[in-house]
A = this chain, B = another copy of it.
C-alpha cells in the first residue's frame, strides 16, 4: 500500500476508535489498563524474545553499549513497565470534569467539559517502554494513538502493541485505538506530520533534529520539548558552603537527561573563592569545562580540562559531563545570558538574598525556574503529577512536565430553551 493511503487508513481508523473511547467511564478505562497489564505479564516471554532479536540486530549493526542498553528489555524492566501501569490506573481521570459552569444573561447555561484530545501521534526513538507508557496514558484519557517508534526496536514494539491491541479487543474496544506504524521508512514520519485531517496533536520524543523536523513540517500542533539548555546562577549572596552540592547534583547525577545543568553563571564577587574549589570537586567526578576568559584567570588551567567557551558552546545541550562556565558582573547579566541561550526548560538561582531570588523568578521566562534547588527536579514525578507525557518547552497548551491533563481539551456545552440570539 502506498504511504499516503496507508497513513490515511491509520488516521481514519484512529479517529473512529477515538469516538468509541471518548465517553468511556473511568472504571471502564481502569479495567482496560488492568487487562493491558495482565496481557503484558502473560506475554512476557514473547516480548522478551522479540526484544532479544532487536538487541541481536543492534549488536550486529555495531550499536554502542549505551544505545543497546536503551533498547534492552529484561524481566526486571518489563516488571517495572507493568508496575507503572498500576500507578497510572490510580491517577485521577481528568475527562468529564466540568468547570466555569454558569447561567448566562442570554439565558444559556454554559459549561466547559474536559474531553480527550482525540488522536495523538507520538514519534520516539529507541526505548520500547515508551510504546507502553504512551499508549497507557493516552487510553487513560480516552485518546487513540498512532505510534512511530525507533527502527532499532520495531520487533519489540510490534509485539508490545499487539499485546495492547489484544487487551483492547478483550475489553470489547476497537483495537485501532493503538496503532503502530509498521515500517521504519522516514517518509512515514513526514506523512504522519501532515495527517491533520485525523491527528490532533504530535508529540516528538527525541533530539533536536526530530524536534526541528516536526516544527517545520507538521501541519498538526506539535508539543516541542525535551531539549534543555539549563542554567544555574550562583549569586554573590549564596551560601557557598551549600552551593557546590546543588551544582554537582544538577550536572553529575544524571548528565544525559534534559534537566541536567549545562551552564553555570557565577557572580564575579564570589568566583575567585568558589570556582577553584568547585572545579576540583567536579573534575574529580569527570567533568570538563567550557569557560569564559575570566574563569581561566581564577582556576589552575593545567589541573582541569578547560576549553574556551563560544556563543555556540553556550547554546549547546551537553548531555554529558561537560559544563559551561561564565563569570558575570551581576544578576542582570546572568538573566540576559539566559534569555539569549536558554531553550526555555529549567533555570536556577542560588542566593540567600530574597530580592535577588524574586527578581530572578520574575524575569526569567522558562518552563521551570528554581530558587536554591537543582534543575534536576523538572520531571512529572518530582512535580507530583504522577505521570509524564513529555516536558514541553513551548508555551501553548502545556509547559514543563506534561501529565494527563495535557492529553485533554475542553468543549463548551450550552443549553437553552429554544433560544435565539437577539
Partner of A384 from the list B22, B104, B363, B369 (CB cut-off 8 Å) is B104
| Cα–Cα, bound, A357→B363 (Å) | 49
Q: Is the CB of B219 within 8 A of A412?
A: no
Please name all residues of chain B whose beta carbon is closer than 8 Å to the beta carbon of A413 when the two chains form the complex: 361, 368-369, 371
Q: Is the CB of B104 within 8 A of A367?
A: no
Q: Binding site of A, secondary structure by majority: helix, strand, loop or mixed?
A: mixed
Q: Is A409 an interface residue (CB 8 A)?
A: yes
Given contacts A201-B395, A397-B397, A411-B399, contact A418 B239 (CB under 8 A): yes
| Residue among A23, A118, A371 with max Cβ neighbours from chain B (10 Å) | A371
Q: Is A187 an interface residue (CB 8 A)?
A: no
| Cα–Cα, bound, A361→B414 (Å) | 9
Interface residues of A in 386-422 (CB under 8 A from B): 394-397, 399-401, 409-421
| Cα–Cα, bound, A396→B369 (Å) | 24
Q: Is A362 an interface residue (CB 8 A)?
A: yes
Q: Is the CB of A372 within 8 A of B420?
A: no
Chain B interface: which of A62-70, A245-253, A272-280?
A245-253
Q: Is the CB of B19 within 8 A of A363?
A: yes
Please name all residues of chain B whose beta carbon is closer than 8 Å to the beta carbon of A369 when the two chains form the complex: 411-414
Please name all residues of chain B whose beta carbon is closer than 8 Å to the beta carbon of A194 when the two chains form the complex: 216
Q: Is the CB of A371 within 8 A of B416?
A: yes
Partner of A416 from the list B106, B372, B383, B410 (CB cut-off 8 Å) is B372
Q: What copy number does this chain have within its complex? A: 2
Given contacts A215-B219, A395-B117, contact A365 B22 (CB under 8 A): yes
Report the minimal beta-carbon distance from A118 to chain B, rounded to whole angstroms.
Answer: 7
Given contacts A219-B215, A362-B23, contact A374 B419 (CB under 8 A): yes
Q: Is A333 an interface residue (CB 8 A)?
A: no
Residue of B nearest to A392 (CB): B409
Q: Is the CB of B372 within 8 A of A415?
A: yes
| Cα–Cα, bound, A376→B414 (Å) | 12
Residue of B nearest to A394 (CB): B221
Q: Is A370 an interface residue (CB 8 A)?
A: yes
Q: Is the CB of B239 within 8 A of A395?
A: no
21 pairs of residues in contact across A and B, judged by CB atoms under 8 Å = A19-B339, A19-B363, A108-B370, A117-B395, A118-B395, A194-B216, A201-B395, A216-B219, A221-B395, A242-B418, A246-B419, A246-B420, A369-B412, A371-B413, A371-B415, A373-B418, A382-B421, A383-B412, A396-B409, A399-B411, A400-B411
Interface residues of A in 322-369 (CB under 8 A from B): 339, 350, 357, 361-363, 365-369
| Cα–Cα, bound, A399→B115 (Å) | 11
Report the minimal beta-carbon distance from A171 to chain B, rounded to whole angstroms.
Answer: 20
| Cα–Cα, bound, A222→B194 (Å) | 14
Residue of B nearest to A241 (CB): B418
Not counting A369-B413, A371-B416, a sample of 19 additional A-B residue pairs whose C-beta atoms are within 8 angstroms of each other reads: A19-B339, A108-B373, A117-B395, A194-B216, A200-B395, A201-B396, A221-B394, A246-B419, A250-B420, A253-B421, A366-B411, A368-B414, A369-B412, A369-B414, A370-B414, A371-B414, A372-B416, A374-B416, A401-B412
Q: Is A84 an interface residue (CB 8 A)?
A: no
| Cα–Cα, bound, A118→B382 (Å) | 27
Residue tally, chain A, CB below 8 Å to B: 72
Residue of B nearest to A406 (CB): B396
Report the minimal beta-carbon distance from A146 to chain B, rounded to whole angstroms.
Answer: 16
Q: Is the CB of B384 within 8 A of A420?
A: no
Q: Is A102 an interface residue (CB 8 A)?
A: yes
Residue of B nearest to A385 (CB): B100
Q: Is the CB of B374 within 8 A of A415?
A: no
Contact with B along A88-110 (1 / 0, CB 8 A): 00000000000000101110101
Please name all residues of chain B whose beta carbon is closer than 8 Å to the beta carbon of A396 when the two chains form the complex: 117, 200-201, 221, 396-397, 409
Q: Is A377 an interface residue (CB 8 A)?
A: yes
| Cα–Cα, bound, A372→B420 (Å) | 9
| Cα–Cα, bound, A416→B415 (Å) | 47
